[in-house]
Structure 1
């Protein structure tokens, strides 16, 4: 049986949400953090929120964004798990490939992203990832079992489509929607990795 492990990026593998860190470059980290929080809770749709956040944060040069993300602390226990199983681990993030692909590639695994392009120096949002589609794609590639880990409302399609769904609260409490879609609720990296290893 081929198992694929799918991990959310922001607040799951990272110790904080990425977009508010980028927003600190513009002096609006609290505003973007609030927008991120209400998005995670499902009070506005992820699609509407991401489009707005990209329109605001797209003013920060991509190379600067890469530097900011590279400095964000990661959950070292989860990173070790991913690096040891890089062929079967996948990062599934609604964040932009333009911004987050370098950090995912540094983990040695593959990823699924929302896509964007640079047009005349401006970030243009091309496609917003439905995380359930990533699970479907992995099944089409031959993975017969999918184990998914996430914390927010935009993770729900991935959690529902997976064979085993885990709401993870390593950085902050998972949302009610994520918990409702989960088979397990875990709050620290060591316990999560023990569970993943035993499944």
Structure 2
């Protein structure tokens, strides 16, 4: 019987004060074992707690996620509201004078209340950006990097860890961001806008996996099969990021720009500051 199964059973068998005392001792022992295994003999954090505020199982999953992060062989970032502070499509909508209408659809999409392809099609049909507007938008309103993300990416790059950008946003807007962060353009997986010869909006490439619900999972599965990654971590703020694990080996929810309650409640590790992730890597 695995230790997870034992802990799961113990969680529901608090039958007496005697048993509670035994459990207190048991958790102190297990805490020490986990400190040795995952944090080394000098580990400081108690990763398993027998309290009403923290689920034993949740703490174990947190420990597993942190361990995968320390041993990551590839890291995938969402872009909007994760790598950058804004939702790119919302900012584009404002630029095209369609902001309020599109923002309402974005909230529904990120909360998981409609399929992603439905939301993308509806929003783009409202905006209908032409090629000139896209170029002006990129030039006049460059996106703002989230505080701490550049330092985190530099740490990952210093460890020779490949970084991928997987986004339901638009490749034309993401390319300048990737260039700023020294991320190869071939590591971008995002949607492509289509235009007629006169520059008018003609739709989006529906063959891109990121244009569909579950598309991020498809991209991650492709990366794992092509490169053999064993500890691939997905980081993001939205429902489409959460559902990409599995096949991602770990998911870290990010809430530094906006907190999605569905993501916060289901992520095994949820952070609001990239410095926390950076510190774990630097002090392992």
Q: Could you tell me the TM-score, scaled by structure 1's length?
A: 0.86
Give the direction of change, closer, same or farther, for the CA distance of 1:83–1:26 in structure 2 (3 Å limit). Answer: same
Aligned twin of 2:75: 5
Q: Residues 14-51 of structure 1, C-alpha deviation per residue, up to 9 Å, x if partnerless?
A: 11211111111222222222111111001121110111
Residue 192 of structure 2 corresponds to which residue in structure 1?
115
The answer as to 2:129 corresponding to 1:59 is yes
Which aligned segments of 4 or more residues in structure 1 are displaced greater than 3 angstroms?
A: 83-87, 195-199
- Structure 2 residues not aligned, in runs of 5+: 1-70
Contact 1:153 1:175 (8 Å CA) reproduced: no
1:75 to 141, 146, 168: 146
Q: Which has the larger radius of gyration?
A: 2
| Structure with the largest fraction of strand | 1
Larger RCO (CA within 8 A; separation ≥ 6): 1
CA 150–194 in structure 1, closer or farther in 2 if over 3 Å, else same: same
Distance in 2 between residues matched to 1:180 and 1:161, nearest whole Å? 20
Gaps of 5+ in 1: none
| Count of residues paired in the alignment | 197
Listed one character per residue, the Cα deviations across residues 94-152 of structure 1 (whole Å, up to 9, x for unaligned) are: 11223322322332212111233222322421135100012112212232210111111
Distance in 2, matches of 1:152 and 1:165, equals 11
TM-score by length of 2: 0.63
Higher alpha-carbon deviation: 128-137 or 103-112: 103-112
Tell me the secondary structure at the aligned position of residue 160 of structure 1.
Answer: coil
